[in-house]
Amino acid sequence: MNVATQNTRTVPDHGVNAPKLPIYLDYQATTPCDPRVVEAMLPFFTEHFGNPHSRNHKYGWDAEAAVEKARAQVASIIKADEKEIIFTSGATESNNLAIKGVAHFYKDRKNHVITTVTEHKCVLDSCRHLELEGFEVTYLPVQQNGLIDLEVLRNAITPKTAIVSIMAVNNEIGVIQPLAEIGKLCREKGVFFHTDAAQAVGKIPLDVDAMNIDLLSISGHKIYGPKGIGALYVRRKPRVRLEALIHGGGQERGFRSGTLPTPLCVGLGEACAIAEREMDAEAARLRKLSERLYNGITARLPEVFLNGDAEHRIPGNLNLSFAHVEGEGLMMGIKDLCVSSGSACTSASLEPSYVLRALGVEIEMAHTSLRLGIGRFTTEEEVDYAIEHLVQAVQRLREMSPLWEMAQQGIDIKSIQWAEH
């Protein structure tokens, strides 16, 4: 198959007519690269192709200057100093580096890590890896709204705790954790605070000093930048020390060896610059669209439930449970809408989302959940089309659902002895 000939438009036009299909509503899985970002990157693929670590000629210097400009752009969006930014291959690597790097470096004095049960898989997997090495890990529960309880965190911190890793914004349900409060508590207790901000950068204001954040992970492709690039903020004062994951030429102050991909660094920098400039206006627009989407669905369908806190959330995410309709079956009925059931990393595995389960969403309800993610290129027409499509599909599937039928007849599904298979 020649994939290069598949030419489907993926970034919808801001047209006034019927939207182009399919409609992309999975902005938490990944975002299209902003055309302005692509434009900024292109010259660094062709005429300015040098290795930024070549210290001996103009090709190298040009590349290096571009990388350093990008570093400053990344630093600016989280109010950090550019010397505190390390480029990585993405937020997964940043999270691995932050958690394993800090734990390994301080292992002689501290052996305890705190995180939450709703973190991204790569944080949980890093923590499991540390457990195998003999570290102790506390997985904090979350409340029904998806947020942690600060008192529970306070009680979990011990003199042996090296690092607390709590995500800024959850990828599945979009809730925002109380970063400033967590940071304040960690600073009081003398514990490093790492936050996975892959879903937060460009969506909510972040200030590493005001929030007392010591390490912060950034992803390129979640903020309309390219895939394959991310960054880790590592505080210099008070200094955070790390053991590298990838050793070699000593690039990125020895924290991360490997030739820096200049075009990707430039892309991440530009994506941050655009996000910083446009965040307020974009958030307001997305909030309106998301309200339109939520109201449009719930006005026409009963028994639709929003997962995660209604207030403390980013505007681009709606995680909804459509009672009595199975999520995967529903996705098949709305194939013009690209949405996700559960997280993208696990949606092939057919198990209900561990994040929803952690909120106390019952397993049968978790099976009925969809994540609708809207973003920079989502239009009102697309939202209206999505509402129409979703409502019709849910209505049709409910007519076919034995559970819906029982609910209508007043039979409590829990009263039935199900043979779990």
User: Is-catalytic flag, 345?
Assistant: yes
Q: Nearer to other proteins by C-beta: 49 or 291?
A: 49
Can you point out the beta strands (E) in 147-292? 161-165, 192-196, 215-219, 230-234
Element (H, E) at 389: helix 380-399
SS3 74: helix
Query: 25, 32 in Cβ contact below 8 A?
Result: no
**Residue among 156, 258, 279, 385 that touches other proteins (CB under 8 A):** 258
Question: Which part of the chain contacts other proteins (CB under 8 A), choosing from 2-10, 76-84, 269-277, 310-318?
Answer: 2-10
User: Which amino acid appears at position 205 of this protein?
Assistant: P
Binding of other proteins at residue 315 (CB under 8 A)? Answer: no
Residue 22: name the closest of 289, 346, 349, 331 by CA.
Answer: 331
- In whole angstroms, give the CA distance from residue 215 to residue 234: 5
Residues 73-92 that bind other proteins (CB under 8 A): 88-92
Residues 88-127 that bind other proteins (CB under 8 A): 88-93, 95-96, 120-126
Q: Nearer to other proteins by C-beta: 57 or 277?
A: 57
Binding of other proteins at residue 331 (CB under 8 A)? Answer: yes
**Residue among 75, 229, 358, 359 that touches other proteins (CB under 8 A):** 229
Residues 353-372 that bind other proteins (CB under 8 A): 362-364, 367
Query: 168, 195 in Cβ contact below 8 A?
Result: yes
Question: Which part of the chain contacts other proteins (CB under 8 A), choosing from 106-114, 240-248, 287-295, 297-305?
Answer: 240-248
Binding of other proteins at residue 339 (CB under 8 A)? Answer: yes
**Residue among 144, 210, 350, 360 that touches other proteins (CB under 8 A):** 350
Instruction: Dig out the tokens for 227 from the structure.
Output: 């895939």
End-to-end CA distance of the chain: give it in Å, rounded.
39
CB of 311 to other proteins, least distance (A): 28
Query: 90, 220 in Cβ contact below 8 A?
Result: yes
Query: 283, 377 in Cβ contact below 8 A?
Result: no
Q: Nearer to other proteins by C-beta: 103 or 325?
A: 325
Side-chain-facing half-sphere of 162: CA atoms under 13 Å: 24
Residues 167-196 that bind other proteins (CB under 8 A): none
**Residue among 19, 20, 29, 40 that touches other proteins (CB under 8 A):** 29
Q: How many residues bind other proteins (CB under 8 A)?
A: 109
Catalytic positions, written as ranges: 345
